[in-house]
Structure 1
Amino acid sequence: YITGYAAFRHIQVKVRPGVLIPRPETEVLVSEALSLLPAAHRRVALDSTIDAWEGDALIAAEAAAEAAQDGSGDASETLKRSQQAISAYLDAQQDQGNGDGGDRPDGSAVAKPRPLLVADICTGSGCIACSVAYERPDTRVIATDIAPEAVALAKDNAAELGLSDRVRIERGDLGSPVPAAAMGRLDLVVSNPPYVPTAVLAGIPREVADFEPALALDGGADGNDILRRLLPWTAAALRPGGGFAFELHETCLDAAAELARRAGFHQVRIVDDLAGRPRVLTGVKPV
């Protein structure tokens, strides 16, 4: 595809030049990511509890970002208020006995399951973030990408799929756009980062290389350059018991698994793609 749509799991996403096109192996990544989430207590309607990423908190965060870019306004104070609002919301959601779920016949409170918090790093077209949100309506996803064309496309895909209330796309390097208040509270980090070893990238056929952005592909000499930066951030971002799923190059998985163990993750696994090649790395933060 150069422009148009690509089918991905149970959704259809737009694709455009300059943004990595979703591939079948990424469906394995999404399946593994979903398996790391706690079992759903119940299906949550698309219009319920969506205030996780609505309201003053995110409006203030976006205003702060704009003010910081153009030098206008008190960006630091605005950002501080947005972080406080997000933190207050997350604190409230952690309280399983706050009665927000309604009342039993005897008048006792029923706890409302809190939304699961997910970060999709290097989101590209947004297909992973949108797939997670579609499959699990009890999730709220922050998706990030450093490329403006990817951010624009991901926002369009989330909007077209009716997921903008639960999927927020922010521009920035790896996990830097994730609010500080969310650090240590994420249930899942998923990523399809640049992972192709530079030497392998040089040998990619021209009909592919001409249409795939090098920024989304080049993983450095051994393919794990981005992973080395991503693992420490993931360890800090996840709650105890939270998990990660990363798509990586078939030649890099053994070394990547060792890096994950050194970063303190348990239950580190390598999962094959649909062609039987090692493709996905998963792990869990110790409780």
Structure 2
Amino acid sequence: MKPKSDMTDYLNDREVLNPAQPTCDKSNAYTLGPLQTGPYCCIPEPVIQVKDLSLFYGAKRALDKVTLAIYRGCITALIGPSGCGKTSFLSAINRLTDLIPDCRVEGAVQFEGDDIYDATCNVQQLRKRIGMVFQKPTPFPLSIQRNIVLPLREHGITQRADIQVITEQVLSDVGLWDEVCDRLDAPAVSLSGGQQQRLCIARALALDPQILLMDEPCSALDPIASSVVEDLINRLSGRYTIVIVTHNLAQARRIANYAAFFWVKERERIGHLVEFGHCRDIFETPTHPLTAAYVSGARG
């Protein structure tokens, strides 16, 4: 038999999972089993420390000297108007900025004490440990199960038994298993928007990350699907460290432990961090007048 030497070979493999699938219970729509979660209100132990982070697109400075900490097991919400650098900041945390032409980063980002911009950093392993979920659901144009299998095999997990266990586990973790277990070979794009987003979250979880970066994961969804994803994010807190960009201030207040408020300097049009702290403090007793003005509509 020809060895599987490239992506095409194993994408065409029709026996990715053991054909003897576990029992598929279709009695409930959105079903989440118990997760091994930590305490919702976390202890402030930094897992990522950002110091004087600036980001440039060509000669244009988009983000100016941001300093803050991301705490282990917590949900940190990045809030602020469009164009203030929230997504750029998120992309800098796992070096997705490397993929943007003429993008340059200054300052330091330490993950578990190591500088992620050091020349010795293994970027592939970094992105395995720090996963990303985008604003618009981005399933691969493959079957549901192959959306999980592809990243696993890219990272060296090739045993069918291991793949089957991980696939069922992560789809269960996002409440999808009971919804799709009898159609794993169906195209991922046949799922609803909310299901596609949960599949993308499951795909990130399959690599067993420590941190999940989420760029407005609910903004492209209808209210019901958005509520389901928000519930899921809440349940994942503690087990994972989550950083979420959101324009929904009510959502940030509901789910986040910490909040970082970004703004745009008017003349230079440069994004910068105005205030960072406990989410309750940001919304109820902000220290900066800009923060107070921005969150005023979300109080009460």
Larger radius of gyration: 2
Query: Same fold judged by TM-score > 0.5?
Result: no
TM superposition score normalised by structure 1: 0.30
Q: Relative contact order (alpha carbons < 8 A, sep ≥ 6): 1 or 2 greater?
A: 2
